[in-house]
Amino acid sequence: MKRYITTPIYYVNDVPHIGHAYTTIIADFLKRFYALRGDETFFLTGTDEHGQKIEQSASARGKTPMQYATEVSGKFRELWNEFGIDYDHFIRTTDDYHIKAVQLAFEKMRERGDIYKGEYEGQYCVSCESFFTPTQLKEGKFCPDCGKSTSGVKEESYFFALSKYQDKLLEWYESNPILPSYRQNEVINFVKNGLNDLSITRTTFEWGIEIPNQKEGERKHIIYVWLDALLNYVSALGYGGDEKNMSFWQGSIHLVGKDILRFHAIYWPAFLLSLGLPLPQKIYAHGWWLNEGQKMSKSIGNVINPKEVSDEFGNDIFRFFLLREVPFGQDGDFSLNALVDRINSELSNDLGNLLNRLIGMSEKYFSLSLNSSKAKEFFPTEANELENLIAQALPLVENAQFHRYLEEVWKIFSLSNTMIARYEPWSLIKNGESEKTEALLVFLCNALFKGTLLFAPIMPTTAQKIADSLGIEIAPSSFEKMIIQNHYQERFEITKITPLFPRVEKKEKEEKVEEKKAEVKVEEKNPLIKIDDFFLSDLRVGEVLECKNVEGSEKLLLFQVDLGEEKPRQIISGIAQYYNPQDLVGTQVCVVANLKPAKLMGLVSEGMILSVKDENGLKLIIPQEKRKNGSKIG
């Protein structure tokens, strides 16, 4: 099977930050995972280099736009090479073949009748390279995406007939191409509200791709940066040229940030429909990495440099943390203390300690040479559990649940460490049960082998060190044999290596975040309030889209609640002792919607779910009948 994995092409207005690294590392994981599974893969990344903002930034630095774009594009390529990103092609929108492909696509759309000339009058955000209607703006003039001031634009423009494809887009969404599902719901709601035709050229600047076959005397039109940029996904495969790699397009997986989902899930498929090309197979939309609850911004000075983190802790650890720490699709708060906790618990205690114990016991009892055909015979229950863990883990990749995938893989190492504690190989040897001891160690080697194959796409250097120690190979043939066919290897020749993950001491005391109780304690004598005080509370009905336990807490549940807004609210509630999270999905709840966001266990909570508690326990307050999400409670 062919797999085509893409990152967005990154805009060359700034140097790479942790958000860029997150997207690219996930794409690299997918490329390595599918390649290890035996699929034929093509991984694309690159830079988006046209537009008014680039023209302005270059001018401010006394450079030509090409000089400036080349300089910043080189920083992205350099960082990905240092991170060992295994991309197959790095595209620049200034590449000749891309320019030809964009002009060809423009002409095809025009011939189809999907492009026409008119005049655009409205607001334009230079920072986002986006047009907005007055109703979309904040406070009448601010960009709804980045919050910066927009400028009024009135100029001749070519338009793309986006409204023509509204129904076809809604049909496509029925195949569930966008993950997580609540992101798809956001897109569907946006499209159902009606699509306006899209202005796709500008005449007020020059840095971009000129439209083809411009008439003599006509004002010079530059193709809108998003039409230009999005076409990179097919131009890189040869669209409009030799098309030698276009067969990969059938298995396309786009990785994007939530802030550019609209362009990829509405504009891009509409362009493809106009060109008669297949639509993307999947679009994975992730959240933002925050710093102390704030979006990272150069102007605020809270941007985290991914290279500095990687240099200090190691590239494999950095990759593991980004995929493990936050559920894909949600915003995450980057914390060095949280990273250190992952190192000391899951990497050092669970994985590193397992390998160390295996090496030590193999050397002490069997001179580092193990041979047993009875691993499954002696331990059938654990063998069945191991097989189930692998079966549960694999589908999670297809569903973009990467943190859950790692969680299931790490259960393999927990199972292995539990077996050592349960069977006490030192006691077995003492009691003369050498055969069972060797079978146990061989079972543990197999479990470690299988687990290593599963996390190798995330931590390739660590996986290779374990492979060197166990005398195994990280290869598609190994994956097929050990994971798909559930084979158990009988012989292992162990080589001693240094510990994988020495414990790391925290550089500063971690701020302890106390769990806030779900119920609000009030004084025995409640003070009277005025009706105006009551109406300060914004109480609304919302539907639970997702609900799960907060890792590391016995009390907290993490909700995604639809309050009829543009995106779901993330709310944390201390009711895990009273409800199974799966049972709450689809339930309508009552929410205090105007609480100031709070941070619990490193996660941001954007409201409070109301409940009642007495001697009989706790119950959520829910509407007697289903009501429209977002309905105000009065």
User: What tens digit of pLDDT does each residue of 176-189 get?
Assistant: 999 999 999 999 99
Q: What percent of the chain has pLDDT over 70?
A: 93
Mean pLDDT of the chain: 90
| Higher pLDDT among residues 224 and 424, named by residue | 424
pLDDT in tens, 562-593: 998 878 999 999 998 888 888 898 899 999 99
Structure tokens at 497: 């290596």
Instruction: Band the pLDDT of 119: cuts 50, 70, 90.
Output: confident
pLDDT of residue 314: 95
Q: How many angstroms separate the CA atoms of 446 and 416, rounded?
A: 10
Query: May I ask the CATH class of domain 334-493?
Result: mainly alpha
511 has a pLDDT exceeding 70: no
Whole-prediction pTM? 0.78
Window from 38-42, 66-70, 548-552, 603-607 with minimum mean pLDDT? 548-552
Structure tokens at 251: 């298995």
Q: How many angstroms separate the CA atoms of 298 and 14, rounded?
A: 9
Would you say 225 and 48 are in contact if contact means Cβ atoms under 8 Å apart? yes
Q: What percent of the chain has pLDDT over 90?
A: 71
Superfamily of domain 531-620: Nucleic acid-binding proteins (2.40.50.140)
Are 334-493 and 531-620 equal in CATH topology? no
DSSP class of residue 374 equals -
What does the domain layout of the chain look like in residue ranges? 2-116+160-286, 334-493, 531-620
Q: For residues 94-103, give the mean pLDDT.
A: 97
Structure tokens at 572: 């944390």
Would you say 542 and 569 are in contact if contact means Cβ atoms under 8 Å apart? yes
The letter for the amino acid at 251 is G
Q: For residues 41-57, give the mean pLDDT.
A: 94
pLDDT of residue 204: 86
Instruction: Band the pLDDT of 513: cuts 50, 70, 90.
Output: very low
pLDDT of residue 300: 66
pLDDT of residue 529: 64
| Higher pLDDT among residues 12 and 152, named by residue | 12
pLDDT of residue 141: 75
pLDDT of residue 299: 59
Say whether 128 counts as a known binding-site residue. yes
pLDDT of residue 294: 73
Considering the domain delimited by 2-116+160-286, tell me its CATH architecture: 3-Layer(aba) Sandwich (3.40)
Say whether 445 counts as a known binding-site residue. no
Would you say 562 and 606 are in contact if contact means Cβ atoms under 8 Å apart? no
Q: For residues 284-294, give the mean pLDDT.
A: 85
Instruction: Band the pLDDT of 298: cuts 50, 70, 90.
Output: low
510 has a pLDDT exceeding 80: no
Q: For residues 299-324, give the mean pLDDT.
A: 90
161 by Cβ neighbours in 10 Å (0-12 / 13-18 / 19+) ranks as: middle
